[in-house]
Structure 1
Amino acid sequence: MKKHLEEKLQHLAKEILQNQTTTNYQVLREKAMALYDLLTLQIYTEKYIQGEMDEAPMEAMDSKSFEHHGQIDDPFPMETTRYEENLAEPLIEKIKDIVAQMPDETEEVDRMLEEVLPQKTIISKELEDFAKDFQQMPTFERKENIEILPKFGKPFISPKEEKIIFVKDPNRPKSLNERLNNTINIGLNDRLAFIKHLFNNNADEYHRVISQLTTMDNFEEAKSFLENLVKPDYNNWIEKDLYSERFFAIIEKRFY
């Protein structure tokens, strides 16, 4: 690869020498740039072959050292124009000019304030004269046990409080809350147990009994209905004491 690069360099150098008389600077510039790239590649290849890149310590390869070591030395460094003029001097002179103009502007501002301040003083004086009369505010004392009399001089007697007694209208339609309170809340586990052990797995009969119980007004009526009309149809719930007591307790809770 090194030999191939050397051949390219020689060939490109000859082309540049042969075109010295040409006025096409764009072509010369492109060939010079190509020569520059080949020289840079040649230098990098020689350094790599000699092992100079491998000798750099790895512990020093931080962000700054990596940027430094990763750079390729320029074989033809371009001259940069250095501007060594003192740039601070014009800025200092500008600041001095601004400071020199400040007294005139300050005097102008003071003159404007003098024209405005007297008017404000007059307004302030008028406010003081106006507020002077309100410095001593009257004090109010709270009096208790004041009797309020009507215009005709007769003492005012408040009417006696009357107790309001609400009478339940049996013909009034029940509200939604009343209908919900009339329902018998039985959990799923209890419902399945009652259907199985008290109603012989007859769910329709169970729901019919519950529906009739919700129409009754008190627990005594519901208990009489269960004892006399329901239990005899199911062997009086013999040996079902655990479930029957639980069933009666839930029905009783609905009325209290």
Structure 2
Amino acid sequence: MTSSAANRRTSLSAFLLGALLLLLLGGAAAVWALNRFPQVAQLAGLQPPADALVPATQPRAVATVPIGPQPLTNAVPVDALPATEARVATLEARLARVENATSRAESSAGRADALLVAFAARRAIDRGVALGYLEPLLTERFGPTHPQAVATIVTSSRRPVRLDQLAADFAVLAPTLKAAPESDSLWQTMRRQMGDLVTIRRADQPSQRPIATYDRAVARLNSGQVDQALAEAMRLPGITAAPAWVGNARRYIAAHRALDQIESAALLAR
């Protein structure tokens, strides 16, 4: 019993081993046949047909370029051209007005600045004080165009002469100005005195007597007409004894003429 059971187990194992070997051999043969003969794989449905592997050629679209002039899609209609030109002309005219207004505003601002500097300089000269911060402003604003006037004003501000000072000094010099200079000879003194006794002149001419001349000079000084006061004072017999007053009067006149010049330039400034 024992030996027969062992024999059956041995024969079963041999049978299974043989079946497995046959399966392996069959699979290898099938793989070789499929690789060797593609038709067999196609018949078995394991590989698509050869014509299915080749992609179908699609017809290539050829772009056709139209021959001849193309229509302008963005062209401006002919009827719209006059309106467009009129609008452009209107815009140009408006721009020109804006530019003119800007130019006038800049000109007015420059004129105002120049007048402010000129008036401030005159006030400083009349008060007899130094220009201070006005000196560089005056030089910058009027120096390039009126250098002589600016130099005169700056020099006068460093040695100021006031109108009331001129009038006061002239009053102090009154006896000297009316009297004959000591250098005159006796004959010149007598001749002048005789001339003062009898004077023949036209009615429209002022008197040449020293007292009348002095009074006219004082009146001119009090009214601020220093140039005319100096002209009257130069006719006085004792004017040679007052060179300092004459120098101060001339400096005052030169400074105010220079101020008049820069004020005129400020009015015409742009």
Instruction: With the length of structure 2 as denominator, give the TM-score of the two structures.
Output: 0.20
Q: Which has the higher contact order (CA 8 A, sep 6+)?
A: 2
More helix by percentage? 2
